[in-house]
Amino acid sequence: MASFLFSLLRFTIFLLIVHSKPCFPSKPSLLLPIKTQTIPRLSSATSTTSKLPFRHNVSLTVSLQVGSPPQNITMVLDTGSELSWLHCNKSQNFNSFFNPFASSSYSTIPCTSSVCTNRTRDLPIPASCDTDKLCHVIISYADLTSSEGNLATETMSMGSLKQPRFIFGCMYSGFSSSSEEDSRTTGLMGMNLGSLSFVTQMRYPKFSYCISGFESTGVLIFGDERLPWLKPLNYTPLVKISDPLPNFDRVAYSIQLEGIRVGSKMLNLPKSDFTLDHTGAGQTMVDSGTQFSFLLGPVYTALRNEFLQQTKGILRVLNDPNFVFQGTMDLCYLVESTRRNLPELPVVSLLFTGAEVSVSGPRLLYRVPGLVKNGKDSVYCFTFGNSDLLGIESFVIGHHHQQNIWMEFDLAKSRVGFTEFRCDIASKNLGIGLI
């Protein structure tokens, strides 16, 4: 993960995962709106009033209430992380995003607690004791910066549902930003399969979301809501392994990518390019905390070459070997700024075990903000990147390619479901608008 792009929305949170299967009691479903939000590039300064350490791309945010009395907070939805965390303050005399001193239900976790000590065996940066003998954690990012704070418990509220003693990170240090847009985001909602994740602690057996698009509303559902207007889903099973492997994340939503088709042509690649090796490298993760999608080198190269071949005469290639968008995307095009719509492009279909996701139209090309060539041409880049340039050994399906797809994460049946759907219509049908 040498590039800053992967760290922009996807944190590497070094907390040991407990793999026991949770028990999911029956409870009513809960509907929440989600919103895409641009998180600006942050400065390198640190401050007790630090903002979220995201870079300049898009995140998915959802509003909740935390504490007693409830404080309104906004969290980034991240299926690639475990620990949920909030920005807190060490001082009662300083304004903060979440003020633990104003909540009667806030409680710190001592470093002698099993929650702290049982998660230190595999940590590159183990949990430790601070000067107050509280459980101290450090979250490390791919750009070698970090944020730190203490594990704590608090009451988490979603509608009428209240979950007391919810374990989260109360983070004090991080990056600072004066951006108004940045200041609207309080923390991160870790949604993977780990025992400390939001969905595990809230004990919902299923959650779903639907993303409308950039700066648009979406919907997040906890539970099993009956939706008669939703088309049937195609399911792919979660990939699980019994033995720990150094390059396999056992609490990620890992599914099996079997092939890629461009238009009507299948990429001519061996099965071994999509399967795990003996170290666990080569898994495919569904990650709402990453914007774009990334493929291992040989697969990326094959896709890039085929897409380039099929767009000859349709698009003008940016022939600049020194320009690689965000360090991972080296296939870019020139499009006249006055042009309203992109030309018809070949559909890229991702083939999973039992399911297929088609990426088409504007989801295939991303306009580089503020970049104009020749005084009249905007630059658009192919929205698949090279994992090798990130220093990771995985396929990652980001949320840009999940737009207008109903995404269902069925924990009880260990599967992920997909179906194409206009997510703005889903929000309208459910009576949910922008946050």
428 Rama class: left (phi>0) / alpha (psi -120 to 50) / beta: alpha
From the list 68, 43, 40, 44, the residue with the least C-alpha distance to 54 is 40
Catalytic residue among 182, 224, 249, 287: 287
Give catalytic status of residue 377 as yes or no. no
The answer to whether 184 and 37 are in contact (CB under 8 A) is: yes
Give catalytic status of residue 78 as yes or no. yes
DSSP letters for 78-138: ETT----EEE--S-TTS--SS-GGG-TT-EE-BTTSHHHHTT-TT-SS--EE-TTSBEEEE
How far apart (Å, rounded) are the C-alpha atoms in residues 148 and 87?
Answer: 10
Determine the Cα angle at 215 with ends 212 and 217, to 5°: 45
Count CB atoms within 10 A of the CB of residue 110: 16
From the list 121, 130, 126, 124, the residue with the least C-alpha distance to 150 is 130
The answer to whether 94 and 48 are in contact (CB under 8 A) is: yes
Catalytic residue among 78, 224, 249, 330: 78
Determine the Cα angle at 237 with ends 236 and 243, to 5°: 145
Amino acid sitting at position 126: P
How far apart (Å, rounded) are the C-alpha atoms in residues 342 and 369?
Answer: 16
- Report which DSSP code applies to 12: B
Count CB atoms within 10 A of the CB of residue 215: 11
From the list 153, 64, 69, the residue with the least C-alpha distance to 106 is 153
**Parallel, antiparallel, or unpaired for β 217-222 and 257-262?**
unpaired
From the list 431, 428, 429, 418, the residue with the least C-alpha distance to 209 is 418
From the list 58, 74, 65, the residue with the least C-alpha distance to 289 is 58
For residues 382, 386, 390, 394, the Cα torsion angle rounded to the nearest 10 degrees is 120
DSSP letters for 327-387: TTB--EEEEETT--SPPP-PPEEEEETTEEEEE-GGGTEEEEEEEEETTTEEEEEESEEEH
Enzyme catalytic residues: 78, 287
